[in-house]
A = this chain, B = another copy of it.
């Protein structure tokens, strides 16, 4: 009998241990964001932004729903930042699995290898902040059978069943970016595009308000030049390089600008680049292309043109001025002192188009050697869509 009691005691002890290990002592949900300065308040340093005069109503962050497409090196850190900021709802899309080869970037840990990225991310994020409502979709947004579901969720994913407040693109290919672009143009959704170069030492974020700023189809995508021979990239069976530093910086720029947009403080950058080798940060405004291939972009442009001028989105310096005849892509510099060596494009120094387009569309844009080299491959990829 004593033996049985001892065994039962052992079981009870082990059960407690398992309970402790699985609950991880995560905190309880918090009903209302408080400014109280105590060690136990996870929101004290964020609510302090009000006292500092930076943000008027920080607690409004709980009203917003943000969709993150791609939960890799940039998207996972983006999700963690928004979770720690106490965003109302996060909607995560990805179809990849966590691998040890991802461990050179922040967020995922080796014991999560083999799990789906959205499942692993949701588990970590809920533990970090149980106040955030996290929804996950483990599928490829570019496949035809998922497209309707994807666009439905963006249209109804807010906390009041309206459209999500913001879409953040953290994907690694043009096909997914064009899918997001098409949905956002069709349903008039504001979004940010982001990207990191395959040599790991440059990246960018771009703010896209349909009809007001250039969409992803208005001009060839802009990439920050790294002065690296592009021929060394993109060979079959060769993986891209990546660094946790560059990805962390780009995620920081992305979420910082998302917070500025949602909580209405500071100036939201239209296009912000990062060149890690030289610590150079090109900053530009990009106007929509009246001849954009996406008819919904043209529709949004006409809607925006019909709006009274006083409704110009704040922080956009030149959005109500006409596009110059000699500047087809509508690219203009925010910092006039930045050298402009791209002629008609007016692209900031250090930034170049990711690929060239046929002559009839591109006008008198000069394309540099390295862009020429990768044109064929990129065009082939585009055609494969």
A interface residues (Cβ-Cβ under 8 A, vs B): 3-4, 7-8, 10-11, 14-15, 17-18, 21-22, 24-27, 37-46, 48-49, 51-54, 77, 80-81, 84-86, 99-101, 103-106, 109-111, 113, 124, 127-129, 198-201, 228-229, 232-233, 237-246, 248-249, 251-253, 255-257, 259-260, 265-267, 269, 272, 276-279, 281, 283, 337-339
Contacts and interface: CB of A to CB of B under 8 A. Distances in A.
B338 A54 contact: no
Given A41-B100, A48-B240, A77-B106, 12 more contacts: A14-B17, A17-B18, A24-B109, A27-B110, A40-B99, A81-B245, A81-B248, A84-B103, A245-B252, A246-B256, A281-B281, A337-B338
A310 to B, nearest CB: 23
Given A110-B27, A281-B279, A283-B279, A103 B200 contact: no
Contact of A228 (B4, B54, B199): B54
The 4 closest A-B pairs by CB, nearest first: A266-B277, A249-B252, A14-B14, A48-B241
Given A252-B252, A279-B269, A232 B81 contact: no
B279 A45 contact: no
A124 B111 CA distance: 11
A98 B357 CA distance: 53
Nearest to A259: B245
Contacts of A24: 109-111
B128 A110 contact: yes
Contact of A101 (B45, B233, B283): B45
11 contacts: A25-B110, A38-B101, A44-B239, A46-B242, A52-B199, A52-B228, A53-B199, A54-B228, A80-B106, A84-B104, A86-B104
A201 B251 CA distance: 15
A336 to B, nearest CB: 9
Number of copies: 2
B252 A53 contact: no
A104 B238 contact: no
Contacts of A21: 18, 21-22
A244 B256 CA distance: 9
A17 B26 CA distance: 20
Given A21-B22, A54-B241, A199-B52, A260 B277 contact: yes
A40 B101 contact: yes
A38 to B, nearest CB: 7
A100 to B, nearest CB: 5
A353 to B, nearest CB: 20
Nearest to A8: B7
B7 A100 contact: no
A168 to B, nearest CB: 13
B127 A106 contact: no
Nearest to A248: B252
Contacts of A26: 109-111
Contact of A103 (B14, B22, B42): B42
User: A15, A54, A105, A233 — which one has the most chain B CB atoms within 10 A of its CB?
Assistant: A54
Nearest to A257: B279
B52 A241 contact: yes
A267 B226 CA distance: 13
